[in-house]
Structure 1
Amino acid sequence: MTKAPSIRDLTATLGEQDVARVKRVLEGGVRIPAQPRVLEELRKLIARHELDVRLIARTVNQDPGLTAMLFKVVGNAAYRKHQPFESVEQILHAVGVEQTYRLAQAIALAGNAAVRKEQRVYEAFWARSQAVGELAMLIAEERIAVCNLFPDQAYLAGIFHACGVPLLLQRFPSYCREMRLGTPGHWANWREEDRKFNSDHAVVGYLVARHWCLPGFICDAIRHQHAMNELGDHESRSMVAILQLAIEVHARDQHMPNPEWDDVKGEVLAELGLGDDTLPEFVDDILERFRGGIQAGVS
């Protein structure tokens, strides 16, 4: 297990205002989860450049749940050129070692903590995160020539982007009720979170991402997911655009409102090289592939 994060470690790249917000979160008792042992072993192997595929595959296979979910994720249409996969070694050869590690990080986070209370809300949250992650993978693959971001990176950002929600749910007994998370179609509003709990899921998600050693541009995208205009870095802006479009596509698929979309639509489409005229066909194609992946997973 990794050691508890220090404020200095987690705020190295932040401005003064964000440093103050991070201190409030940590001092407020929000607990940042540690990475599972298997991920720690994988991280150390990669850091030492020990990239023997057989050794890494054996390490992954120590966790049967992680292995099973890895096969499910690489069954996504974004990896259709490489399918079918019959072993972890095949996944590592086709997808890449570091890319597989990033997928494993996302999978591990989704299964990291259990919430005894509000279990249905927790399960619905992770179902949404999983869907947003898979949609982000498909969008990244389709727009790779424009954004130069890859499906594994987009999936990682999709799973982590709102991971602060279950941590706030665990920390504050009234969070679920105050944020109306039990209401179908209702999602946590970061401005309400900040006003009522002196925290918000973007800041908490950023802390988790930093502690789990995600790439810096993904951490920044998580932190600024609701403030894309504050990002000058191309990779981070593109990742936020992918996330925001994935959230909008998911909302359309579920026939639910997405209040943020009208405010960010212009920036998102410009960043992804899409227009009002091309968006409907693009969304239809993404949803067709997404639904096809769901059907394949069920059969």
Structure 2
Amino acid sequence: MVQPLDMNAIDQALQGFTIPPQPDVLLHIQQLVQQPEPNMQRLATLINMDIGLAGFTLKVVNSAYFGLRSKITSIEHACKFLGVNRVVKLVRSVLLRFTLEQGQQKDPFSQKLWSNALLVANSAASLARHLQWPQELCDDCYTLGLFRNAGIALITAQAPNYADLVKIGVLAGQGYSEAEEHRFHTCHEILGYLIAQSWGLPAELCNVIAYHHSPALILESDNELEQRLFAMLKLAEHMSGESRVLFDMTLDPEWEQFAPQMLDVLQLELFQLPELAEVLRQNELSTIYTG
């Protein structure tokens, strides 16, 4: 496991930022599922209390990732289809976006940020499923894809020129977090870690979020699960073209430097990437591979 974050770094990163608490509906849902026999009807009722949450939950359930032959049209059916644990993971991720966007103007970069988060989440989960990872790990890949950049939403709320400034730093040879700390005196890795921890994500997912722009550190972790989740996340980011989408850059320094180690963790070879891209296309997910 990677080293715990230094509390001084956390205190410094939090200056001027507030970590959003879990919404009440999520707290009620989590209390419900902790019961010996959770009531599915009550679970569906809680989700239906927010029309936005209910609508987006159905949208995700009916996405190509789940491969349903017919569309699910009710939250009750979705809960029965997914099961309690998967519903909680899905709802947590959906609520994250709603919570961070609340009261904010939906600027073009924020739209790209969440659209890309959904693409990376679906790509990571689809690739994990293709590689026959256990369903729980596939779901963790989805959650990780949505949560890892949550800290960026907090920074951009105060710095509308975030993308331009980070791009300048990366093109000058800085890492993403280094560029952020230089310009905003915080970084989205730590902010994202604190959000994930506050919202009850497992320790391994919190650690990957905390170090997802520190490949050298996490690839040396003695925790195999952290390494696998991290490698799958970076593969999904690369194949979705995240640096192009968010920062209009063809440069992908982390992948270019650490691709062999990441692929080794996943037991993949570079020549297999076009094949994986075809898997994503079959799931209606865009990639940087056009051949």
Q: Common fold, TM-score beyond 0.5?
A: yes
Q: Distance in 1 between matches of 2:145 and 2:195?
A: 14
User: Which amino acid is the alignment partner of residue 128 of structure 1?
Assistant: N
Does 2:241 align with 1:251?
yes
Deviation at 1:50, TM superposition (A): 4.5
Q: Distance in 1 between matches of 2:105 and 2:41?
A: 41
Correspondence 1:149-298 to 2 at 5 A: 149-172=136-159, 175-180=162-167, 189-227=176-214, 228-251=218-241, 257=250, 258-291=252-285
State which drifts further: 168-177 or 260-269.
168-177
Deviation at 1:14, TM superposition (A): 8.3
Q: Secondary structure at the match of 1:111?
A: helix
Q: Distance in 2 between matches of 1:107 and 1:118?
A: 16
Does 2:61 align with 1:80?
no
Q: Distance in 1 between matches of 2:114 and 2:140?
A: 18
Q: Distance in 2 between matches of 1:273 and 1:16?
A: 27
Q: Distance in 2 between matches of 1:118 and 1:52?
A: 36
Deviation at 1:229, TM superposition (A): 1.6
Deviation at 1:118, TM superposition (A): 7.2
Normalising by structure 2, report the TM-score.
0.83
Distance 1:189 1:47, change over 3 A: same
Q: Secondary structure at the match of 2:192?
A: helix
Q: Distance in 2 between matches of 1:14 and 1:266?
A: 20
Structure 1, unmatched stretches of 5+, are 1-12, 182-187, 293-299
User: Which amino acid is the alignment partner of residue 140 of structure 1?
Assistant: A
Q: Percent identity?
A: 24
Q: Distance in 2 between matches of 1:69 and 1:237?
A: 30
Post-superposition CA distance 1:75-122 (Å, at most 9, x none): 233311575323222222222211111111111111213364672221
Does 2:120 align with 1:132?
yes
The match for 2:44 among 36, 46, 57 is 57
Distance 1:85 1:48, change over 3 A: same
Q: Give the corresponding residue for 2:172.
A: none
Does 2:64 align with 1:40?
no
Contact 1:42 1:59 in 2 (8 A): yes
Over aligned residues, Cα RMSD in angstroms?
A: 2.7
User: Which amino acid is the alignment partner of residue 139 of structure 2?
Assistant: D
Q: Distance in 1 between matches of 2:63 and 2:106?
A: 29
Q: Secondary structure at the match of 2:271?
A: coil
Post-superposition CA distance 1:185-218 (Å, at most 9, x none): xxx9212112233321111100000000011111
Structure 2, unmatched stretches of 5+, are 169-174, 287-291
Q: Distance in 1 between matches of 2:130 and 2:60?
A: 17
Q: Give the corresponding residue for 1:104.
A: 91
Deviation at 1:250, TM superposition (A): 0.8
Post-superposition CA distance 1:148-204 (Å, at most 9, x none): 7533221111010111001112245664552259xxxxxx92121122333211111
Contact 1:164 1:200 in 2 (8 A): yes
State which drifts further: 154-163 or 82-91.
82-91
Contact 1:134 1:290 in 2 (8 A): no
Q: Distance in 2 between matches of 1:16 and 1:62?
A: 38
The match for 1:119 among 107, 111, 115 is 107
Q: Distance in 2 between matches of 1:275 and 1:212?
A: 36
Q: Give the corresponding residue for 1:9.
A: none
Q: Give the corresponding residue for 1:8.
A: none
Normalising by structure 1, report the TM-score.
0.81
Post-superposition CA distance 1:112-138 (Å, at most 9, x none): 133646722212211111111111221
Distance 1:109 1:207, change over 3 A: same
User: Which amino acid is the alignment partner of residue 263 of structure 1?
Assistant: Q
Q: Give the corresponding residue for 1:93.
A: 80
Q: Secondary structure at the match of 2:99?
A: coil
Contact 1:82 1:94 in 2 (8 A): no
Length, aligned pairs only: 272
Distance 1:38 1:17, change over 3 A: closer
Correspondence 1:4-15 to 2 at 5 A: 15=3
